Chains A and B, each alone.
Chain A
Amino acid sequence: MKKIFKTINFTILASSLLFMGSCKDFLDTNTSVDTEEGTALSSAGQLQMVLTSAYRQLYFNDQGGDRVYAGLPGLQMYVDLGGADIVSHTNMGGNQVDTYKYEASRTQTTGTSDAIWTMMYKIINQTNKIIHAIPAAQGDQATKNQILGQAKAIRGICYFHLIQNYQQTYMIAKQKKGVILRLDPKEDINLPRATVQQVYDQILVDLGDAKKLLNGFDRADKWTINEDIVSGQLARVYLVMNNWQGALTEATSVYNKYNKLMTRDQYRSGFDDAISNAYPEVVWAMKFTATNNLGGGTQFNFWYNQDEKYGEGYTDGPIYAFLDFFADGQYEKLFEKTEDRYQFWKRTKNANKEWSTKWAYDKYKHYGDANGAVQGNTRPEVTLMRGSEMLLIMAEAAAHLNNGMGLTYLNRLQAARGVKNLTTAAAGQNLLEAIYVERRKELLCEGVTGLYDLLRLQKPLVRIQETPSYVEGHYTWGMSNLDGYDPKSPNPTGTLPSNDYRFICQIPQLEMTRNTALKEADQNPFKGQGQ
């Protein structure tokens, strides 16, 4: 017995000693699925992966909001829903309807003023990590330059979207508070708003650096940012800054490489296969795939765009058609019925008058992967920059420079689209107005006209509501938050005055409360015209 007793005791003691011997290891644990930060920032190969993830955020923002906040393809809808040319039904409620209605969702507390802010800063801070780590990282200089160039380009693009949404346009707001300039992952998390001028200076530095670093970089895909995309982006920035020569130079350099414009058949077949069909005028495009897919939330599904033969229900066709977006009646009037871009028809078989009275429009149609059978998956390719846009930038810049080429460029596009009555105004406001109309006609829902053009050109938003005699106008909910709207007038019209702060987002509440460098006085007004 004594022996047994001893044995038991010693066994337990020995086992606990053994166990204690490894106690330091015992409390050390590690994740089995993630990479330690030191490794992730150590080499060009690893930083390329951080960059790939930044691209994913840029195109999908799948950690953030959905629909209009789903990366650049979603933001295209946001920009254009804020204009006058799209009519949005409430059938599929959500942030695209709020955007259309000018709900008070751009305010700091009640809305989604954080959505664009967060989307862009998450990408910016990720590129900051790359930009900060690349000098000391392992790897050959050429590869490092390509990574750095793309990171800077992405940062510049993100700041450009931010500044357009969080302050009035550059020409009237240079010294106003812009957005927060974060350029270094190590700096204080509490930073004030930089001026609009400072933000644009940084955008030009980033895009300028990127252009140099990406010189000669041969990209493998349309979604990878190269020198051409950077130039096109610079042209867009110069347009806002009214640097007409800069805009003309950059746009021309891109257009010269992407000047074979889409044919009538290509244009009318929808934009869904812009990459696969290798349209030569496509400078920049991304795609939805089986592995990276938020395709169901893209404009391909929001437009009521499928052929009538599929039926009028949202589940009848080859994809989910959310029966949401239509073209406005005023917009339809801008087109000649014979031109290539005339893709409007009314859905007269639909029992619901809210739908049957509006113009369906199929510039965007994507019939999914089911070959026309009902309810396939939507995995479209989305165009982010085209030669046509460059041509229109050239026209606008040339018109301002008054070098005689403005009309030529405009007519070149009009002719390519089968327009019969070409613009004749050779210069001045009439020409500029014609170019603006052409931009709307050519670029609807490509994320460059709509809200952005209204701000840039300091134009008011004007919407005309449907009435019994004008059924194809805006829905009442698209009007009720606008000024001057009287539902009882014969032609109910609503406007947002030019430079109204309702176009602009307020600084998000969680930025205001968490960032100690911001005071209440730093907030944008919610409404009222900026000076």
Chain B
Amino acid sequence: MSEKTKLFFALTLVASSGYAFGVHAMPNTANTIEYKVTQQEITGRVSDKNGPIVGASVSVKGSAIATYTDQQGRFKLSKLNPGSIIVVSYVGYGSKEVKYEGQSNLSISLDATSTDLDEVMVVAYGTTKKSTFTGSATVVKKEQLEKIGGSGFAETLQGMSPGVNVTNNEGNPGGDSRIQIRGISSMSGSSNPLYVVDGMPYDGQLTSIAPSDIESITVLKDAAASSLYGSRAANGVIVITTKKGKSAKPTLNFKSAWGTSDNAIGNPTKATPEEQLLNTWEGMYNDQFYRYNRTSKEAGDWASANVLGKLLKKSSAGVYVSPFKDINENYVLHDGNGNAYINPKLQKIWNESDYDYYGAVFSRKLRQEYNLDVSGTAGDGKTNYFLSSNYLDDKGYAMNQYFKRYGFRANVTSQVTDWLQLGGNMSFSSSRQNLSGASRALDFSTTLTSPWLRNADNTDWVYSEKTGRRMYDYGTYGNNFFGIHVLNNGGDYWDNPNDEGFTNNQRNMISARYFAGIKLPYNLNFKSSISIDNNVYKEFTYGSAVHGPGQQAPYGTSVLTSGGSAGRVNNETRAVTFNNILTWEQDFGTHHLSALAGQESYTRNVVGDNGYGEGIMQLGQYELTSTTTNWSVGSYKDRYALLSYLAKVDYNYDDKYFASVSFRRDGSSRFHPNNRWGNFLSGGLSWKISKENFLKEATWLDNLSFRSSYGTTGNDRLIQRQLNGVAGGEFLYAYQAYYSADNLYGLPGLNPKTVAAPDLQWERNKQFNVAADFAFLKRFYGTIEYYSRNSSDLLFYKEFPLSAQAGAANGQNMNLGNLQNSGFEFSLGADIFRKDHFNWKVDGNLSTLKNEVTYLPSGAFTFNNRGAGYRLEEGHSLYDFYMVKNAGVNPDNGNMQYWVKDDKGGWKISEDYVGEVTSDDYQWIGSALPKVYGSLTNSFKVHGLDFSFMFYYSLGGKMYDYSYSERSTLRGGVGVTQELVQDRWRKPGDHALLPKWSDDNYASTRRASDFYIFDNDYVRLRNITLGYSIPKSTLQRLGLANVRFFVSADNLLTFGSAKNRYTEPETGLSGNNYNGNADTDNGRQGARRIYTGGLQVTF
């Protein structure tokens, strides 16, 4: 950069951030602020008609001075200038402004109101009053978050805000949730919003923030609310505000909760050993009798003679090891007419628990949680502090999984002088997670074998000589072993006496935020903030050296031939944000004007390394040091940077008409220097119609206002859409062409990786929002909103024709295609009863979503993901199922039939899937995305009791139930769920749901079709909580402020058809539940029920 340009930039900065003004104006005016006025100390009391209000906010308008009322409703302010306006507010009450005219004692009374219009909410780069806000945002408060017993705040957001769809599709403790704010606006399906913690963007695991530290969460949904975040707000913004000190007296808060969990959808039961024998016999008989034309007797004889060999192989002792004592005759007999029965001489010698695979994997375990925090203010409210520590240990439901987290946080803000405010927020979070869980091997196992190893003559179990525990059986006696054991990966890095494989991770995160606010003349305020999020991630993997196929005696102490393996992944992410914001606020009579200008820089640096090795021959050792062969290592560093300028103006006339305009200019390192910068503008209007004279008479109307906004946000995050429609990796160096290392036999190689894309530019997201807010009869309130988001120039990794691909360079980054998301959002509430000792409140919300590809220049195409077929085409959603339709089972022969096109363009029924079904016969089946979702919450308060329950619902989506296809198909090695297969074809004339079983050719009995697509409407009792608070009168004698006991349950009940198939309704984005979740394919279980009970004490 030349000197000239540097100078230019310097001047630009000075001008844009208003520094020049601040610096030059300061010397002349500083004195006036500091010394001119006389100041006094005053006390006051806030009450309503029932008595004092505890915890009401008391602040001085235009200053940072703020305090809260104590247990007697009292507050104290000092150094107040006469003429200052004191603002008092409390949730559920209208706020009140009182002019200080030198009184030494103030008595202020508040009126209850049904609206929270005067509430202050945290928005982009500041706060605002809800009534003056022209954008669309929802505030979720700590009282709502506290009820849910999850691992992080993300899962607790489910159902809390209209327009925000949260799917908790990983039931393992510490698992991630998927959050979509107003649909999906990227071709990859990725929809991660921007997270902002205490004013600064947050780069870390969502579960690293203890929900108990959170005061409130604001979800910014439209352009007016979020476009100040410019390029980072394309998927909406979630603004998290942590707790701060409130009352002059130190408040000590302690909460502990204990509980347990299980699966929200109960586990299925596998066919019993007898049923499994008969099932397999039936499939074999069907093949012989129907396909190969043998007589019923011949077919039955053949099936009886061969069924055991089909399922089991003889042990070295020459017997079949199974739950039965081996007899030297057929286990399954038949009557010669196709009816089989179990040989009465069979004698069961195992217990049911010995072949209960689900029981082996799942058990209820302890979940415990403790929070302790102290908070308060000092120096007459000029310094507030909050110190917290918390511990969570959730051991989950499956195997050895757990999530443990220690969290510490310190929040201090101090008004150092009249003009200087300093504050900081430092948190440390340390977590450990064990990812053992349910795997697809749960489907691929039958009750004729056991998870545990039996001896060869089936007389005893084989025990480990190291631990005395039963060894696992890796297909020793069963045919069709899946290759993965249900109890695979049941070890733990920190505690692994049985030498089992494991996948663990550890995160240590320091998140530091610091700011300085300076009050300048002419109502100007300057704030400079810096934050660093430092996230250290370590992953530990171990492939057992002892347990596995090929394990040998002496068991538990002899090492596998190739030994064990160990892997380690380390990475450290350091994200730094630095911003400088100048704000200004001025009243001109009834005109109120405020403005903001600033600059922000952001960098994210990641350094990582990983290692892997095999051949661990030592027992009890899991480090790379113990590996002896086949090493591989890697390391990298990545950097991403963003530079931004922003400005905003708000105007308000008479608290009746509101307008706001905001602008942001972003430069991103992902684009070529010529196309780096993008400008994002938005505007909003709002009209508080209830304040107009013509509605003055309508006293029943508490509030009626309209608002609307339009604007753009941008996106530079380029995420690959994989062939199966699932989001892949992220391109950090989106415009550059690279070759990656690709070595052969130790010789260096270079493989094309990316293709240059110098023309790549910002993706644009045009958002329109219109809304009406209303409240009436001091009892009912709500919002109706419509939005439309048009995303254009979508960043897309466009894949070339297959014949034009080289190496990993399958395509080129480009701006391509448009997507539209639109919908209505309704949120309605009512204070049905509001009596002194009985409160009943109902809150509900409902959101609709229409997701549509509006422009796809690369042309429509079909894709599939684990059996489910889709088509991406203009006029349809991102995940519309597109498959052949089944036409039911032919009663004559038991074959599944399909609808295919005939020669005349009509439809005919065909059984010949292989020969006749082509993509020409596919039909639109519906979208995987729900059309409507929301929640309904009822809260009651009766004396000291509080009770609430919340239902969450999701309607109109479809799912491809892969798990059902596995549990309902007879297949080698797979134990069906017997109750799901009762309605199957067995003889000509049967009108059955499922086709005739085949053992030879199971695939012909479960072809991919809409047979496995189901309406996925479901309703969940998301949370139910019952609490009891000891009366204040009793507590005062004990010196306690609050004591509450509570019991709570999450996901206690689920309604919907998925449950009948033992299927978790919360699926991956594409609506396929392969392995529980096709999008992450992680083999973990679905949502859990969490039961907790506990105690909350405030001193």
Question: What residues of chain A have their CB less than 8 Å away from a CB belonging to chain B?
Answer: 1-2, 5-6, 8-10, 12-13, 16-17, 19-37, 40, 46, 49-53, 55-57, 59, 63, 90-91, 103-104, 107-110, 114, 117-118, 121-122, 125-126, 128-129, 179-180, 182, 185, 189-191, 221, 223, 287, 289-292, 311-315, 320, 350-354, 370, 373-377, 475-477, 480-481, 487-488, 508-511, 513-515, 526
Q: Is the CB of B580 within 8 A of A12?
A: yes
A57 partner, pick from B291, B313, B642, B807, beta carbons under 8 A:
B807
Instruction: Across the interface, name the chain A residue whose C-beta is closest to B922.
Output: A109
Q: Is the CB of B742 within 8 A of A352?
A: no
Q: Is the CB of B802 within 8 A of A52?
A: no
Q: State how many angstroms separate the Cβ of A151 from the closest Cβ of chain B.
A: 13
- Given A103-B914, A352-B479, verify A514-B799 contact (CB < 8 Å): yes
Residues of A close to B9: CB separation below 8 A: 20-21, 23
B578-614 near A? 1/0 per residue, CB < 8 Å:
1010000000000000000001010100000000000
Residues of A close to B861: CB separation below 8 A: 509-510, 513-514
Q: State how many angstroms separate the Cβ of B298 from the closest Cβ of chain A.
A: 9
- Given A5-B30, A17-B10, A23-B9, verify A52-B747 contact (CB < 8 Å): yes
Residues of A close to B906: CB separation below 8 A: none
- Given A37-B738, A40-B739, A108-B919, verify A29-B805 contact (CB < 8 Å): no
- Given A33-B740, A49-B750, verify A118-B805 contact (CB < 8 Å): yes
- Given A352-B479, A374-B552, A374-B561, verify A31-B745 contact (CB < 8 Å): no
The complex places the Cα of A429 from the Cα of B316 at a distance, in Å, of 52
Interface residues on B, range: 35 or more
B476 partner, pick from A25, A223, A313, A511, beta carbons under 8 A:
A313
Q: State how many angstroms separate the Cβ of B553 from the closest Cβ of chain A.
A: 12
B480 partner, pick from A20, A91, A292, A376, beta carbons under 8 A:
A91
Residues of B close to A477: CB separation below 8 A: 1000-1001
Q: Is the CB of A122 within 8 A of B417?
A: no
Q: State how many angstroms separate the Cβ of A118 from the closest Cβ of chain B.
A: 5
Residues of B close to A49: CB separation below 8 A: 747-750
- Given A21-B6, A31-B638, A487-B291, verify A320-B743 contact (CB < 8 Å): no
The complex places the Cα of A118 from the Cα of B802 at a distance, in Å, of 6
Q: State how many angstroms separate the Cβ of B15 from the closest Cβ of chain A.
A: 12
Q: Could you say which of B90-98, B302-310, B1087-1095 contacts chain A?
A: B302-310
Q: State how many angstroms separate the Cβ of A304 from the closest Cβ of chain B.
A: 13
Q: Is the CB of B474 within 8 A of A351?
A: no
Apart from A107-B918, A180-B803, list 9 A-B contacts with CB within 8 A.
Answer: A2-B26, A2-B31, A28-B669, A35-B741, A50-B749, A122-B806, A221-B745, A510-B799, A514-B799
Residues of A close to B807: CB separation below 8 A: 53, 57, 63, 122, 125-126
The complex places the Cα of A314 from the Cα of B309 at a distance, in Å, of 15
B756 partner, pick from A37, A56, A126, beta carbons under 8 A:
A37
CB of B63 within 8 Å of the partner chain: no
Q: Is the CB of A10 within 8 A of B23?
A: yes
CB of B732 within 8 Å of the partner chain: yes
Instruction: Across the interface, name the chain B residue whose C-beta is closest to A19.
Output: B601
- Given A46-B750, A117-B802, A128-B806, verify A110-B919 contact (CB < 8 Å): yes
With most chain B CB atoms within 10 A of its CB, the pick from A27, A32, A182, A481 is: A27
The complex places the Cα of A514 from the Cα of B799 at a distance, in Å, of 8
CB of B862 within 8 Å of the partner chain: yes
Q: Is the CB of A320 within 8 A of B549?
A: yes
Residues of B close to A126: CB separation below 8 A: 751-752, 806-807
A-B contact pairs, 27 of them (CB 8 A): A9-B22, A21-B9, A22-B1, A26-B603, A27-B641, A29-B669, A29-B733, A31-B736, A34-B740, A52-B750, A55-B749, A56-B744, A63-B751, A126-B752, A311-B316, A314-B475, A314-B481, A315-B550, A351-B320, A352-B306, A352-B309, A375-B550, A377-B630, A476-B287, A476-B1001, A510-B723, A526-B918
* Interface members, chain B 605-636 (any A CB < 8 Å): 629-630, 632, 634, 636
B419 partner, pick from A5, A21, A34, A290, beta carbons under 8 A:
A5
The complex places the Cα of A284 from the Cα of B477 at a distance, in Å, of 42
Instruction: Across the interface, name the chain B residue whose C-beta is closest to A128.
Output: B806
Q: Is the CB of A27 within 8 A of B749?
A: no
* Interface members, chain B 855-887 (any A CB < 8 Å): 858-862
Q: Is the CB of A63 within 8 A of B808?
A: yes
Q: State how many angstroms separate the Cβ of B37 from the closest Cβ of chain A.
A: 16
Q: Is the CB of B862 within 8 A of A109?
A: yes
A37 partner, pick from B640, B739, B972, beta carbons under 8 A:
B739
Instruction: Across the interface, name the chain B residue whose C-beta is closest to A315.
Output: B549
Q: Is the CB of A53 within 8 A of B475?
A: no
The complex places the Cα of A128 from the Cα of B807 at a distance, in Å, of 12
CB of B13 within 8 Å of the partner chain: yes
Q: Is the CB of A37 within 8 A of B919?
A: no
Residues of A close to B291: CB separation below 8 A: 476, 487
Q: Is the CB of A13 within 8 A of B23?
A: yes
Q: State how many angstroms separate the Cβ of B525 from the closest Cβ of chain A.
A: 13
CB of B846 within 8 Å of the partner chain: no
A117 partner, pick from B23, B314, B745, B803, beta carbons under 8 A:
B803
The complex places the Cα of A311 from the Cα of B313 at a distance, in Å, of 11
Residues of A close to B737: CB separation below 8 A: 36-37
* For the complex of A and B, 6 pairs with smallest distance between CB atoms: A375-B550, A53-B749, A125-B806, A315-B549, A488-B293, A515-B801
CB of B643 within 8 Å of the partner chain: yes
Q: Is the CB of B801 within 8 A of A511?
A: yes
Residues of A close to B802: CB separation below 8 A: 114, 117-118, 121, 508, 510-511, 514
Residues of B close to A20: CB separation below 8 A: 6, 9-10, 13
Residues of B close to A354: CB separation below 8 A: 310
Q: Is the CB of B313 within 8 A of A351?
A: yes
Residues of A close to B578: CB separation below 8 A: 16, 19
Residues of B close to A291: CB separation below 8 A: 630, 632, 743, 745-746
Instruction: Across the interface, name the chain B residue whose C-beta is closest to A475.
Output: B1000
Residues of A close to B1043: CB separation below 8 A: none
The complex places the Cα of A53 from the Cα of B1004 at a distance, in Å, of 41
Q: Is the CB of B480 within 8 A of A2?
A: no
Q: Is the CB of B561 within 8 A of A53?
A: no
CB of B489 within 8 Å of the partner chain: no
With most chain B CB atoms within 10 A of its CB, the pick from A26, A287, A352, A373 is: A352
Q: State how many angstroms separate the Cβ of B446 from the closest Cβ of chain A.
A: 15
- Given A12-B580, A182-B804, verify A17-B13 contact (CB < 8 Å): yes
Q: Is the CB of A487 within 8 A of B749?
A: no
Q: State how many angstroms separate the Cβ of B669 from the closest Cβ of chain A.
A: 4
Q: State how many angstroms separate the Cβ of A80 from the closest Cβ of chain B.
A: 22
Q: State how many angstroms separate the Cβ of B969 from the closest Cβ of chain A.
A: 13
Residues of B close to A189: CB separation below 8 A: 800-801, 804
Q: Is the CB of B292 within 8 A of A487?
A: yes
The complex places the Cα of A56 from the Cα of B751 at a distance, in Å, of 10
* Interface members, chain B 266-312 (any A CB < 8 Å): 287, 291-293, 306, 308-310, 312
Q: State how many angstroms separate the Cβ of A464 from the closest Cβ of chain B.
A: 14
- Given A52-B747, A125-B806, A290-B629, verify A375-B561 contact (CB < 8 Å): yes
Residues of B close to A27: CB separation below 8 A: 641-643, 667-669, 673, 676
Q: Is the CB of A31 within 8 A of B738?
A: yes
With most chain A CB atoms within 10 A of its CB, the pick from B632, B749, B806, B918 is: B806
CB of B469 within 8 Å of the partner chain: no
